[in-house]
Structure 1
Amino acid sequence: MKYLRLLLIAATSSCLALNSAAALSGDRCETAAARRQLEQLYVDDQASRVAGSNAVDLDSQNQAALSRIVKACGWPGRSVFGKRATMGAFLVLQHADLAMQRTFLPLVRRAHRDNELPAETLPLLEDRILVREGKPQRYGTQVDASGWPLPVEDPENLDRRRLAVGLTIYAEYWAMARERTGQDPAYIPFWWLLDEH
């Protein structure tokens, strides 16, 4: 079953790469096609994580697709593309290499400011970048492989920073995550951000 799922992901990704031209006519944005592609990126990304496969090749393909869409359409905000497509774009970026994350960070900040992304997204990306740079995170969104939170700058003011960007206080986040999923935040599937909470 696991291998069938991986085969389906690979086949879908190949079709997605072929359909990338349909989403973009030259540098002109075709919103409906781009939306469908981003929604499929969301599905593929999450399926590859659940299957436990090595998602490096898929991540690389997804990054190329996202770069083409952003070049033609700008950052895909939820008011035009819908929440699932926007989260597809965000997931690709969250799993992208550090250089791409740094490049797209200003676009994500602008989209976050304009309420085109859920509140959780910007802190997730900023913390991911900081951790990858070997620095303490600001919002406490990143954990190590065993599920323990990675170092946080100025822990005494963590909840103040979290509240300022629309996150719940840290202890409440952990409790809510456990209640909702039965798991620690390190293992929460990303679809949780799609639900209203």
Structure 2
Amino acid sequence: MKRFILVITIGVFSSLCYSQSAQPNKKELDTLKTKLETLFMEDQLFRRLYQDAEKKFGQDSAEMEYFWKVVEEQDDRIELEFIAIIEKYGWLGISEVGRLANTAQFSIMQHSSIETKKKYAPLMKESVLINESQPVQYARLIDRMLVNDNKPQIYGSQITQDETGNSIFFEIEKPELINKRRKEIGLDGIENFAKQRQIEWNVVQKEK
């Protein structure tokens, strides 16, 4: 019952955030598109370089310690800029800013604080449900939050390896209902996802 009340509360909060968001005009949307794409580039740049840096300096080197310090400081700045945008305009959909800028919001959320993730995830879900954001990205965001909190995932997007090196799913909450949950946000059945990653899946699915 408490969980049901929490879901309703989050939904009401999310709807209020949308209703109070400013409606950007065409010029503002163009500016927001450019801004988000720039933030996305900044968010990804160092992460695309870290493996080369590790090979050169060593994983536990002073240079890599400084490298990740710079990344952390940049993440904090990007998060604040992202929050300023979403607090004013809400979650920006694909039809408003394009797929890349829309994806930028997801990527920034991935590297933001847990408080930011929890606060704005409902806005992303609303966008997903009207086909304005990508369901696979929402699934990854939610599942990673749960796995990082040592809780079962709900969409089955997170995999790991067993002791023999075979791919397996992180624990899934009520796996017999996973396709129902996936369908609700626009994802296909878990069977295809498992097959692509050579994971055995034979859990009979239920509707409720």
Matched, 1:137 2:135: no
Counterpart amino acid of 1:89? Answer: Q
Aligned equivalents of 1:71, 1:86: Cα separation in 2: 15
Equivalent residue, structure 2, for 1:155: 175
Aligned equivalents of 2:144, 2:118: Cα separation in 1: 10
Equivalent residue, structure 2, for 1:42: 40
Matched, 1:60 2:79: no
* Identity rate, percent: 26
TM-score (norm 1): 0.66
**Uncovered stretches (5+) of structure 1, i.e. residues with no partner:** 1-26, 179-183, 185-197
Q: Is the 8 A contact 1:137 1:152 kept in 2?
A: yes
The secondary structure found in structure 2 opposite 1:137 is: coil
Query: 1:85-124 to 2 correspondence within 5 Å?
Result: 85-124=101-140
Matched, 1:82 2:98: yes
- Distance of aligned partners of 1:47 and 1:156 in 2 relative to their CA distance in 1, 3 Å threshold: same
C-alpha displacement of 1:105 = 1.6
- Distance of aligned partners of 1:28 and 1:156 in 2 relative to their CA distance in 1, 3 Å threshold: closer
Aligned equivalents of 1:36, 1:114: Cα separation in 2: 23
> Would you say how many aligned residue pairs link Structure 1 and Structure 2?
153
The root-mean-square deviation of aligned C-alpha atoms, in Å, is: 2.8
Aligned equivalents of 1:157, 1:32: Cα separation in 2: 41
Counterpart amino acid of 1:164? Answer: E
Q: Is the 8 A contact 1:123 1:141 kept in 2?
A: yes
Aligned equivalents of 2:73, 2:159: Cα separation in 1: 24
Residues 87-123 of structure 1: per-residue CA shift (max 9 Å, x gap): 0011101221110001102211211122110121221
- Distance of aligned partners of 1:159 and 1:106 in 2 relative to their CA distance in 1, 3 Å threshold: closer
- Extract structure 1 runs of 4+ deviating beyond 6 A: none
**Uncovered stretches (5+) of structure 2, i.e. residues with no partner:** 1-21, 51-66, 200-208
Aligned equivalents of 1:156, 1:51: Cα separation in 2: 40
C-alpha displacement of 1:46 = 2.6
